Amino acid sequence: MSASKGIDTIASWLLEARSVVVLTGAGVSAESGLSTFRDKEEGLWAKYDPMELATIGAFERDPELVTRWYHWRFTKAKDVQPNPGHRALAEMESWLVDRHGDHAMTVITQNIDGLHQRGGSRRVIEIHGSIHRWRCTKTGEERPLAELRFDAFPIPSAHGGLMRPCVVWFGEMLPPEALEASFAALQRCEVFLSIGTSGVVQPAASFIEIAREAGARTAEINKETTPNTDSVEVALFGQSGQILPALMARVRELAADAPARDT
């Protein structure tokens, strides 16, 4: 299917859909300048595998190294801007909310960078947590990152423990409330878009199956093939920061041509 045909198809789904779920991964933040988990890093972090560092074992073995890694990722995330892909998803949400109310679209993100919210999205489920919140390893007390002083690595907490980012490491359970909210949105969605994710990390990688079983149309927007590519109805290859604005432009065109909806 050609890219323009694929965009046409997804746009026509969105015109009819009363509930949409978008699952995003590191690829949607790539055009903001943040590396994905599979990009090769340069410099100091080149020799580390993120899949190794994002684990509770790594933090317990070397809390200084892991704290420095998250501090480095945070300093990058705060210096970059949401890209046109983030903004197109925010426009998609407000367009759908105007038509069908507050729960018409949910972004379920695996990213911890906060760029969807900064790009204007309102209903965002951060299933792998956020780099912007840290907590004490002893008491679980959370503090916004802005309150932390990174003048020592690792950061001692006020209770004799250490401060760690409120992210979900490999081997850790996802936040139950985030999982529940995700399942609720997946079970009633009519369109499911998987964008900028390699589709291998569980349980997020199984969300498309839940949506499909709920009867949703499914599509993928990604730079390369993933385990989902053969099973989605539409697979668009390219940069999400280019494809998503084109998709929203087509949605607006089709909506303008559509007969006035009875309110």
2 part of the interface to ligand BV8, by CB under 6 A = no
Return the range that interacts with ligand BV8 (CB under 6 A); candidates 31-39, 74-82, 95-103, 247-255: 31-39
Residues 155 and 148: beta-carbon distance below 8 Å: yes
Rank residues 38 and 159 by Cβ distance to ligand BV8 and give the closer one. 38
Min. distance of Cβ 18 from ligand BV8 in angstroms?
27
Min. distance of Cβ 12 from ligand BV8 in angstroms?
22
**Which residues have C-beta within 8 Å of that of residue 250, sequence separation ≥ 6?**
7, 8, 11
The residue type found at 49 is D
Residues 242 and 87: beta-carbon distance below 8 Å: no
Q: Pick out residues in 79-98 that bind ligand BV8 (CB under 6 A).
A: none
**Which residues have C-beta within 8 Å of that of residue 17, sequence separation ≥ 6?**
96, 104, 189, 190, 191, 217
Rank residues 173 and 256 by Cβ distance to ligand BV8 and give the closer one. 173
CA distances from 9 to 16, 45, 226, 237 (A): 11, 41, 20, 15
Catalytic residue among 103, 128, 132, 159: 128
Is 100 an active-site residue? no
172 part of the interface to ligand BV8, by CB under 6 A = yes
> Which of these, 108, 122, 116, lies nearest to 179 by C-alpha position?
108
Active site residues: 128
Which residues contact ligand BV8 by CB under 6 A?
25-27, 30-31, 36-38, 54, 110, 112, 128, 167-174, 196-198, 200-204, 222-224, 226, 239-241
